[in-house]
Amino acid sequence: MDDVVDSKQITRNPLRLSPNPLTIKELDINGLNASLVDIEIYTLAGKRLFSKTKHLAQESLHLGSLKEGVYVVRILNRDTGDAYYDKLLIMN
């Protein structure tokens, strides 16, 4: 990973990823009040597979290119600098 996570940046996670586990290729992200966020998805080995900057209140992402497995979702709130992490399980 390119970034080092500062523990002061990790706060209680208000995010809701659904469905999780993901059996369809659309992931809904809810619960974050931010005008601009960076959304990244990583393998457990730390390889970034997906990166997008969005205006987010509620967002749906198409993840058709990701294979079955466990991933880490990182969302950086550009308004506050807070980073949120969640695990995502993709099943076919």
pLDDT of residue 1: 46
pTM for the model stands at 0.74
pLDDT mean values, one per 10 residues, the chain (92 residues): 49 67 78 78 94 76 88 88 89 81
pLDDT at residue 74, as a whole number: 92
Q: Could you write out the three-class secondary structure of the chain?
A: CCCCCCHHHECCCCCEEECCCECCCEEEEEEEEEEEEEEEEEECCCCEEEEEEEEEEEEEEECCCCCCEEEEEEEEECCCCCEEEEEEEECC
pLDDT value of position 92: 73
Candidates 3.40.50.300, 2.60.40.3080, 3.40.309.10, 3.40.50.2020; CATH matching 33-92 = 2.60.40.3080
